Amino acid sequence: MAEKLIVGMAGFGTVGSSVYQVLKRNAALIHTRAGKQIEIKRVVCRKTDKVILQTQGNVIASNDLNSIIDDPSISVVIEVMGGIEPAKTFILNALKNGKDVITANKALLATHGDEIFEEARKQNRSVFFEASVAGGIPVIKALREGLAGNQISKISGILNGTCNYILSAMHKTPLSFAEALKNAQQLGYAEADPTFDIEGLDSGHKLSILTSLAFGVPFHFDITAVEGIKGISSLDIQFAQKLGFVVKLLATVEKINDRLAYQVAPTLIPQNSILAQVSDAMNAVEIVGDAVGKTLFYGAGAGGEATASAVLADVIDIAKGHKSIVKPDSATVVTFLDNNEKRNKNYIRFNSSSLNDLTNHVLPTLEKHQIVVEKIEEINENLVLLTQEIDEKTLQKALTELSQTYCNQLSFTRFRLAKSVN
């Protein structure tokens, strides 16, 4: 009789059901590659009738998470419920009961990853999480294995398919943000409540995970370093195109003099760059290492089967006896750059009914704060500026002064310019 790896799964939504279906479809292939037969024995979810129907009664379905934790035959648990609780408690209890864990839960890892991996170390168990970042793109494995001999200096990526679809749609057609979002929801790219995606939180969680892996630091999610795309207008999209850029929600972490600059923000990327060509709901991650140079990973960042691909890769790794223990590098002493110290080139669009008056006030104010303007465009009632690199504190001080001068009636939009992308 072939050796079996018995699995329990918490969650049977888009990802969970896809894990089951892909495993069933590719069972023989996975068996060959894993060296073991993989069997999902139990599934816990709210809609047990769905599980019974899709699995034809071949798994035990229930609403009780403890049924997985307490089953001694189950050695691996897959968590694809999402959210913080009960997922966190479920994972911790599974580890305490001697089970290895596979999770796609980026929010949980970004905010409680240190606690989870500390428990894994205590119990000598593994936590695998390939599906937590960039869907089916094997970027976690690349950092842990393929690029393990490199000192990583920078990671920059498009990590949220919903935002990328919206921005791509606004570039292709003269759609407003609201119209593009509605289309994304109708196509299933955006949730009914898209807040997590469009405010940049999802990208921030994923960047936190990549940062920990790349630089050997504890998991660090800083909400103050995260901006979303909600305020982007079709006008700014048009102006960006005229200036030779596209707008992307870019997640970036860069090592600068032994400190890490971590940020998620709408960013202008040159139209001729590779990242600028990443459209619709696709993801891409650029990683820079001292030995390998620039590498680029591209593919489906979400979707049931793409994410299932990553989950099953982790299942196979466990079946083959691989370990996944994440801990800070003891030799690494790295702090995070304060947001006020971060330096960027900027796109700033001011709007006023009196363009001459605006120009006469804006330029002297920026000059007073030693902000150098590289390019000026006057379009209708809009003044568009591209600045040289300046620290965030100085820029915000200048923008605050201008707002006060205009009694808070001044309207402006600001984007960062990408420093260097493929």
- For the annotated catalytic residues, the residue numbers are 206
* Strand, helix or coil for residue 345: strand
Longest pairwise C-alpha distance within the chain: 84
Please name which of 198, 202, 201 lies closest in space to residue 229, comparing C-alpha atoms. Answer: 198
Cis before 266? omega within 30: no
Helix/strand number for the chain, H first, E second: 15, 16
Q: What is the Cα–Cα distance from 342 to 282, expressed in whole angstroms?
A: 28
Give residue 293's region: left, alpha or beta (phi > 0; psi -120 to 50): left
Q: What angle do CA 238, 350, 201 make, to 5 degrees?
A: 70
User: Could you identify the residue written with the tokens 């490199």?
Assistant: 150
Is-contact 248 266, C-beta < 8 A?
yes
Interatomic CA distance for residues 8 and 15, integer angstroms: 14
Asked whether the beta carbons of 318 and 29 are under 8 A apart, the reply is: no
Q: Name the residue among 361, 421, 401 with its Cα closest to residue 385.
A: 361
CB 349 within 8 A of CB 362: no
HEC readout, 125-170:
CCEECHHHCCCCCCHHHHHHHHCCCCCEEEEEEECCHHHHHHHHHH
Helix 234-242 vs helix 161-172: crossing angle, to nearest 10: 70
**What amino acid is encoded at 259 in this protein?**
R
